[in-house]
Amino acid sequence: MTAGPLTRPAAERLADRLRPLAQPQRLMILSLLLAGEHTVGEIETRTGIGQPALSQQLAELRRSGLVTTRRAARQVHYRIADTAGLRQTRAILTLFGDDAPQIRAEAPADPTPSPAAPSPATPSRAAPPPDGAARFVHILAPGA
């Protein structure tokens, strides 16, 4: 697949998808959630993000559709919303993260879905994915 220059509408859609990721605390949260589901308390402990900042960032990630929640008694569990969100988060951290090799080594291929999570669809193997920036655009804006 050869990627040409983005059209204005495609560039605007891509920019809209990237906006929620342009915040350090949200990237910290998403990088933690690559490993699987975590409670709010676990996220706070592992990232060091205190309240109310953590609640604000989690709310923004929910609004953007990047994470979903499930409640078990008094615990709220967060996870990356879907396979597309997983690919997007992994692409951002892989392409732009300072610790990209460590992130790739530590992150499982797919997090263990919670009992409430739908099983991901089997990906198509028709053509190899593009490389570099073209891969990034392909992951974040399929069909652009």
Q: Say whether 1 sits in a helix, a strand or coil.
A: coil
Segments making up each domain of the chain, as ranges: 8-106+129-140
State the pLDDT at residue 54: 98
Whether the CB-CB separation of 95 and 19 falls below 8 Å is answered with: no
The topology under which CATH files domain 8-106+129-140 is: Arc Repressor Mutant, subunit A (1.10.10)
* Residue 144, pLDDT score: 55
Per-residue confidence band for 75, with pLDDT thresholds at 50, 70 and 90 = very high
Q: What is the band of 17 on the pLDDT scale with cuts at 50, 70, 90?
A: confident
The model's pLDDT over 40-66, given as tens digits with 9 standing for 90+, comes to 999 999 999 999 999 999 999 999 999
Model pLDDT, residue 102: 58
Asked whether residue 97 carries a pLDDT value surpassing 90, the answer given is: no
Q: Span 20-24, mean pLDDT?
A: 90
User: CA-CA distance, 47 to 64, in Å (whole number)?
Assistant: 20
Q: Does residue 103 have a pLDDT over 80?
A: no
| 86 pLDDT above the threshold of 60 | yes
- Cβ-contact 17, 88 below 8 angstroms: yes
Lowest mean pLDDT among 7-11, 29-33, 71-75, 97-101: 97-101
Mean pLDDT throughout 31-36? 92
Put residue 36 in one of left, alpha, beta given phi > 0 → left and psi -120 to 50 → alpha: left
